[in-house]
Amino acid sequence: MSKNYFECKYRGPYKGVNTQLPEDLLTPDYTPFMNNFILKNGEIRSRPRQSLYIPGPPDGKPVLFITSFMDANDVYHTCIVTATGLWQLNRPWQNKPITSKKSWSLIGAFTEQPGANNPAAIQVFVNKLFWTNGGTNLWVWDGITSVGAPALWKATTAYIKGSVVLDNNNKVQVAGNSGISNVTAPVWSVVLAGMTVDSGTTPITWTMNGTPAPANGFSAAAVVDATNGITAGAFFLIELNAQLLMLNTVESVGGNFPQRIRWTPSGLPTIWDPNVNIGAGFNDELDVPDSILGAFTVGTTAFILRQNGITEVTSTGQGINPFNFNHLWASDRGIGNIFPFGYASYGPLGIFISSDDIYNVSLGGFNRIGGMARDAIYKDLYAAIENPIGSIIPYYQLNYVYNHYKLVIPQAGGTRIWNYSIEDSSWQTEFKETTSYTGHSRYCFTG
């Protein structure tokens, strides 16, 4: 036996997966395959423990989102939505044994088909939770009431701007300002968009917004034509300039409008009819040849992701035309987003998947980030059996501050996860057998 031997020394910083070059040409800082490890500051580390602590909902249906929000009484709620309805995590959910029925309570059920079985678009705004997922309604829960119809008007009660009540004519009234109601009910306007002054301690001006849509446990918020009772939902939902925007809308009359954007007046997220308030409105992006497949905000700017392009949206400060739409390009072919739920944003950064590469976008411009792992990622993407889902996870736990973009790709037999380290600009993979992801990852208050 020969006593000769050789020694290979590998030193960082390591750069993750590289499938662009033949394996015999890779430098020691790359690897053709890395599974269930992550990189931090160029160092190879085992990934943090990922255990399932909370059981799924009692109905056994896929979870379309999970999020936490704080209501007007400063109480936190951790909620999920399934095809059944809205569920809330019970405070004693950790009591042993942990079961679905102990963990989740049904806030309310959908009164009609909520939409396509996709990750739901959600937005927390003015202490309320809004969500929609390709149906003809935008849903809202304030975390306080547990009935579908808005509460009846009450005397000498403090209301905040945007509060919704029912008057004695069973019509919806929306508060245009914060104030305290009178000791006796006012004479309510019965005319659509009619104003009623509630001359209490601090007078409130109410706007009549039609008849409420039916709901159970939560409310349907988007009546886009109160005269004809037309409602709308969408596939995507964002907030910009204190206004809610629905994109790629689905309406009860006319069906799907993949190029349409609707918005509310500033601070009034339950008014969508421009005949009720001129601050509401809509815009059809008819000058571009494709459909809207996502949107996210960076500061006071929104980026609308289309299949072959990107539209930049900025605020004008004008009530009737509050937004300026600037197509960064509007060609038949161009850099756009091809997977409607594969994009994600966090702070000043957004990431999306185009037909030629994966890009990050900020106010400073666009950058390719697929790098040396691009071909392997696209091989997995085109083998996906369901919609890929993207999220940006800033940290796993307080002592695991790894800022990652996680691209979850459902495959036969399990789920492939590509992790992009935003700090290190490197890619690593995970694979989870017999596991599927059905909604965006978020950090939730569960204490």
Segment 198-251, tens digit of pLDDT? 999 899 999 888 877 665 678 888 899 988 889 999 999 999 989 999 999 999
pLDDT at 110: 86
Query: pTM score, two decimals?
Result: 0.84
pLDDT at 209: 85
Residue ranges with strand state E in 1-61: 37-40, 43-46
Q: What are the tens digits of pLDDT across the range 69-78?
A: 999 889 899 9
Asked whether residue 184 is assigned to any structural domain, the reply reads: yes
The set of residues, in sequence order, having a beta carbon less than 8 Å from that of 311 and lying 6+ positions away, is 285, 288, 303, 304, 325, 326, 327, 328
pLDDT at 435: 80
Asked whether residue 158 is assigned to any structural domain, the reply reads: yes
pLDDT at 438: 85
Place of tokens 């301690």: 201
Positions of the chain with pLDDT lower than 50, given as ranges: none
Asked whether residue 188 is assigned to any structural domain, the reply reads: yes
Asked whether residue 443 is assigned to any structural domain, the reply reads: no
- Cα dihedral across residues 160, 212, 242, 134: positive or negative: positive
pLDDT at 135: 93
Asked whether residue 185 is assigned to any structural domain, the reply reads: yes
- Per the CB < 8 A criterion, the answer to whether 224 and 243 are in contact is no
pLDDT at 98: 84
pLDDT at 102: 85
- Per the CB < 8 A criterion, the answer to whether 264 and 271 are in contact is yes
Asked whether residue 103 is assigned to any structural domain, the reply reads: no
Angle at 392 between CA 256 and CA 76, to 5 degrees: 85
Residues of the domain holding 185: 150-211
Burial of 154 (0-12, 13-18, 19+ CB in 10 A): exposed
Structural domains in the chain (count): 1
Task: Give the containing element (helix H, strand E) for 102.
Answer: helix 100-103
Asked whether residue 276 is assigned to any structural domain, the reply reads: no
- Rg (Cα) of the chain, in Å, rounded? 25
pLDDT at 20: 82
Angle at 277 between CA 274 and CA 283, to 5 degrees: 30
What are the tokens at 58? Answer: 């009692």
The mean pLDDT value of the chain amounts to 87
Asked whether residue 202 is assigned to any structural domain, the reply reads: yes
- Cα dihedral across residues 401, 388, 346, 328: positive or negative: positive
